[in-house]
């Protein structure tokens, strides 16, 4: 069975954060250390606010 670590894009903290939110994981599940760029990127993905990109639109039916 494939896991998130089997996919190259899953190593990107922004993608990991977005996938964590989609999977229903809590925001405090971020695996990166405090004050690290990876943690900032993970939260950006979780919140749908990657740097240099407008926010993601609300999900349909939300």
Q: Stretch 49-54: mean pLDDT, rounded?
A: 70
Query: CA separation (Å) from 11 to 22, 25, 45, 58?
Result: 16, 17, 12, 25
Where helices occur in the chain by DSSP H, the ranges are 13-22, 37-47
33 Cα distance to chain centroid: 15
Q: pLDDT grade, residue 50 (50/70/90)?
A: low
pLDDT at position 56 over 50: yes
pLDDT at position 62 over 60: no
| Placement of tokens 């993970």 in the chain | 42
Mean of pLDDT over the chain = 81
Q: Stretch 13-26: mean pLDDT, rounded?
A: 94
Residue 5 has what pLDDT?
A: 47
Residue 4 has what pLDDT?
A: 47
């Amino acid at each position: 069975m494939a896991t998130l670590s089997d996919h190259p894009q899953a190593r990107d903290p922004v993608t990991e954060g977005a996938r964590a939110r989609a999977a229903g994981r809590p925001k405090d599940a971020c695996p990166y250390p405090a004050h690290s760029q990876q943690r900032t990127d993970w939260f950006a993905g979780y919140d749908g606010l990657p740097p240099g990109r407008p926010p993601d639109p609300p999900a349909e039916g939300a």
